[in-house]
Amino acid sequence: MVEIKDVKKIAEEEIRLVNTIEKLENFENKYLSKKGILTRILRSLKKLNPEERKKVGKEANELKEFLKKEIDFRRKQLKERDVEEKEKKEWIDITIPAKKIERGHIHPITLIRTQIEDIFQKMGFSIVEGPEIENEWYNFDALNIPKEHPARDMWDTFWLRQNGLKMQNSKLKMNQRLLLRTHTSPVQIRYMEKHKPPIRIIAPGRIFRYEATDASHEINFYQVEGLMIDRNISIANFKFIMEEFFKEFFGKETKIRLRPSFFPFTEPSFEIDVKCSICNGKGCSVCSYRGWIEMAGAGMVHPNVLKAVKINSEEWQGFAFGLGLDRLTMMKYKINDIRLFYSGDLRFLKQF
């Protein structure tokens, strides 16, 4: 029979060398598990005579308790040491300068939109908005563009489906078919339905056209609609406001020209061109080698439009215009491709 005190001596020496949790577990298994040394000693007690059994049994149990306590103590020590080491490794240097949070950039179109809004606000215009999903009535009919009118070809349109039907072919409700607005002009109608003249508004917003893209065409872009209705408004007033705007926006030397044009909702109608600043009038891909760039459609509000919103055209007249916000931005910053605005390319956007 082994002497308990020898076992204890060896065990004490062994535990002193234990320096990891893993080794501690091996130690515990070696002495206290089902097949461990102490378990075996206690089991073999039955072979001894009663006196010895009592003595050795007592010593063995004492050793068991002793080892349990030692193991617990050592476990605690090792755990504390591990936590300390981990903390040392994870030490944070709070004096290191923080990583800079990168500032976002305002999109160039937004920048220019606010500049335009400022200029018109100074001239007494209010800023209003309308929905991007429109119905046929506001986008076309109320603007004197009845169904089947060839002028509808001027606007390539995204029609929306409703109840699984292609809206374009549905006969559900007259003029209620939904579409993505092809211009901001429907905001004129929405505003005049709710407000009495005199009116002086601009309506910036996003519009949509179903067409092929290239350096100067996108399937969505931005316009700034303008509308002024008052007594005795003439083309002279219109020209003055436009010249004021372009001079304020591009600088005093800016050259603009009015070209006769056609829109069903204005009569007479004009196209406002600005001398191309990319090539200074010589001709380039942005101005389609014309030297001038079309910046707006405009004209005197057609009496039929006023009739559609129940405004007496004998008493009230006015003008309307639709500025191309993308083009204004391109000219201002000499950007030669409209697609850059919608590409999400940070190398482009970070320059503003």
Chain contacts with ligand PHE (rule: CB under 6 A) = 183, 185, 263, 266, 297-299, 320-322
Among 13, 71, 60, 9, CA closest to 37: 60
| CB nearer to ligand PHE: pick between 157 and 277 | 157
**Amino acid, res. 269:** S
Sign of the CA dihedral with 130 first, then 136, 137, and 139 last: positive
- Nearest approach in angstroms of CB 97 to ligand PHE is 52
- Compute the least distance from the CB of residue 183 to ligand PHE, in Å: 3
Q: Which is nearer to ligand PHE, 67 or 320 (CB)?
A: 320
In the complex, what is the shortest distance from the CB of residue 259 to ligand PHE, in angstroms, rounded to a whole number? 13
Closer residue to ligand PHE (CB): 27 or 140: 140
Residue among 197 and 299 whose Cβ is closer to ligand PHE: 299
Q: Least Å distance between CB 210 and ligand PHE?
A: 14
Q: Which residue is nearest to ligand PHE (CB)?
A: 322
Q: At what angle are helices 108-122 and 325-333 packed, to 10 degrees? A: 100
Closest distance between ligand PHE and the C-beta of residue 254, in Å?
20
Please, what is the minimum distance in Å from the beta carbon of residue 323 to ligand PHE?
8
Cβ atoms within 10 Å, residue 22: 10
Q: Which is nearer to ligand PHE, 108 or 299 (CB)?
A: 299
Phi/psi of residue 80, nearest 5 degrees: -60, -40
CA distances from 155 to 113, 215, 217, 315 (A): 23, 19, 13, 31
Question: Which of helix, strand or coil describes residue 200?
Answer: strand
Minimal distance, residue 142 CB to ligand PHE, in Å? 13
Nearer to ligand PHE, 274 or 320 (CB): 320
193's enclosing H/E stretch is helix 186-194
For ligand PHE, the closer of residues 70 and 326 by Cβ is 326
Q: Please report, as a single letter, which amino acid is at residue 48.
A: L
Q: Which is nearer to ligand PHE, 108 or 205 (CB)?
A: 205
Q: Is 173:205 a contact under the CB 8 Å cutoff? A: no
Output the smallest distance, CB 188 to ligand PHE, in A.
7
Taking the least distance from each CB to ligand PHE, the nearer of 130 and 299 is 299
CA angle 189, 195, 198 (to 5 degrees): 100
Q: How many CB atoms lie within 10 A of CB 148?
A: 6
Least separation in angstroms between residue 321's CB and ligand PHE is 5
The DSSP string of 295-327 is EEEEEEEPHHHHHHTT--TTT-EEEEEEEEHHH
Buried b (16+ CB within 10 A) or exposed e, 167-193: beeeeeeeeebebbbbbbbbbbbbbbe
